[in-house]
Structures are given as C-alpha cells and as structure tokens.
C-alpha cells in the first residue's frame, strides 16, 4: 500500500520541507522605488562571508483556481507587457491593502476579475516564483460553490479587455504539459488541483491556514 503524502520522509528521516533561516543582515537599502514594488540591496553574512544581493521587495500575491461542479476552471486572458503576450491566467492580485487577510484578498480578486463569489475556500498551493531575485510569495486558493457576485466591477488598464473562459481541468493540464500556456500561478494551480482531485481532494489547507513563508515587505527610505 502506498504511503500517505503526509507520511513520506526523506533519506534523513524527516519530512521534505524548506527551512527558514535568519542570517545576520549587515546592510539594507532601497535602491529603486517603483509604482508597484521596490528593489532592495542587502548584505548578509553566510559561512563567515559577507554577500550582497539585490532583489525585488514584493507585497506578496494571491490567486484563485475557481472550479465548478463540472470540473471546469475559470480562466482569464489579459495583456502582459513584460512578456508581450495576452496570456491565460487565474484571477490573482497583489496583497497591497493594508491589514487585509490573504483570504479576503483572494475573495476580492475573484469578485473583481471574474464577477464571482464562492462558498467553499481552501489553500491549494504556496510557492515562491523567483526566490533568487524576489521575496514574492504567492498563495493559490481553490474556490468552489460558485455563484454570480452581487456587484459587477468596472475594470481598467490591462483588465479592461479581459477574456473569460471556462475550461475543463484536464484540458488545462494538457495545455500546461504541451507548453501552450506559460503563466506560473496558472500552471502550478491546475497541476496541483489535478493531483489533489486524484487524491479525493485530501491534503488541501484550511482557508485561514498560517502562511509562514510570507514576510512583510521591507519598507523605508533609501539608506534605511
């Protein structure tokens, strides 16, 4: 009999997990202030050596894989200038509202981008998309029990021309594996959902589960 995913251990007899490490910070300064996020330069001590790295100081983000009773996933398409593509995505957004919980942020994004609300929420995945160059972490929720939102939101900028499509989960997985879609949160979300469904949706996180990998972005004036 196969082991439960929660009981599989590595060669050292420990569950496979990342380690949080608090290294001595020698210096930290904001070297670029952007409209959405900043760039910081920090020096830290590692193995007796001072190392300096620059990284994007990010607010963090949430995404929502909304799936209906027919195992169809709600996808949106919008233009993304850095990659010069209109790519397929899941509803997602920054955690840039002070004091707002990640769950409330996800519910807000689902309503604003897809005009939907959900009665069932669970954590599907937590991940760091670029840990070598950004402190961004993203939490993806699974949303079920969907219905129309009581309010339709006005959309602007890239969101003004959103295309919405309901796609079977299996078709989404096929598109990821065939490399026809490229969005990171979408790819992780549909692959995680496909695996979770095969396990009877066991292993999902509680909607308000702690998020220890998320740290508040470092703020302050240049040189602070």
Per-residue confidence band for 222, with pLDDT thresholds at 50, 70 and 90: very low
Residue 223's pLDDT is what? 46
Among 112, 159, 206, 208, which one carries the catalytic annotation? 159
Residues 49 and 127 in one domain: no
Average pLDDT rounded to a whole number, residues 52-56:
96
For residue 136, give the nearest of 197, 80, 57 by alpha carbon. Answer: 57
Verify that 38 and 82 share a domain, yes or no.
no
Task: Write down the pLDDT at residue 101.
Answer: 94
Domain that holds residue 36: 20-57
| pLDDT tens digits for range 190-199 | 999 999 999 9
**CA–CA dist 91, 19 (Å, integer):** 30
Q: How many CB atoms lie within 10 A of CB 224?
A: 9
Whether residue 218 lies inside any domain: the answer is no
Residues 37 and 130 placed together within one structural domain of the fold: no
In a domain, residue 8? The reply is: no
**Residue 221's pLDDT band (cuts 50, 70, 90):** very low
- State whether 101 and 50 are in the same domain: no
| Tens digit of each residue's pLDDT (9 = 90 or more) over 3-50 | 455 555 555 678 999 998 889 999 999 999 998 889 999 999 999 999
Q: Is residue 11 part of a domain?
A: no
Q: How many domains does the chain have?
A: 2
Q: Is residue 217 part of a domain?
A: no
Q: Which of 7, 16, 205, 37 is nearest to 121 (CA)?
A: 205
The reply to whether 172 falls in a domain is yes
Q: Are residues 83 and 150 in the same domain?
A: yes
Same domain, 125 and 193: yes
The CATH number assigned to the domain holding 201 equals: 3.90.79.10
> What percent of the chain clears pLDDT 90, i.e. is strictly above it?
75
Report if residue 2 sits inside a domain: no
Annotation marks residue 100 as catalytic? no
Q: What is the pLDDT of residues 108-158, one digit of tens each?
A: 999 999 999 999 999 999 999 999 999 999 999 999 999 999 877 766 666
User: Quick one: 53 and 68 in the same domain?
Assistant: no
Q: Are residues 176 and 71 in the same domain?
A: yes
Contact call for residues 44 and 37 (beta carbons, < 8 A):
no
Answer whether residue 194 is part of any domain.
Answer: yes
pTM for the full model?
0.87
pLDDT tens-digit readout, 56-99: 999 999 999 999 999 999 999 999 999 999 999 999 999 988 88
């Amino acid at each position: 009999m196969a082991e439960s995913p929660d009981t599989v251990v590595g060669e050292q007899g420990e569950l496979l997990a990342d380690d949080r490490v608090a290294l001595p910070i020698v210096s930290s300064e904001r070297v670029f202030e952007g409209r959405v996020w900043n760039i910081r330069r920090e020096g830290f001590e590692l193995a007796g050596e001072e190392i300096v790295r620059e990284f994007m100081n990010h607010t963090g983000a949430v995404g929502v894989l909304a799936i209906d009773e027919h195992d169809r996933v709600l996808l949106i398409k919008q233009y993304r200038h850095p990659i010069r593509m209109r790519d397929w995505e899941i509803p997602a957004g920054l955690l840039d509202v002070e004091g707002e919980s990640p769950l409330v942020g996800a519910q807000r994004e689902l309503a604003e981008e897809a005009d939907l609300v959900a009665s069932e929420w669970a954590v599907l995945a937590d991940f760091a998309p670029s840990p070598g160059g950004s402190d961004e972490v993203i939490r993806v929720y699974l949303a079920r029990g969907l219905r129309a939102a009581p309010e339709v939101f006005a959309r602007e900028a890239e969101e003004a021309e959103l295309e919405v499509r309901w796609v079977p989960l299996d078709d989404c997985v096929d598109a990821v594996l065939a490399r026809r879609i490229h969005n990171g949160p979408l790819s992780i979300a549909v692959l995680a959902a496909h695996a979770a469904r095969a396990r009877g949706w066991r292993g999902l996180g509680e909607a308000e589960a702690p998020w220890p990998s998320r740290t508040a972005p470092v703020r302050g004036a240049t040189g602070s």
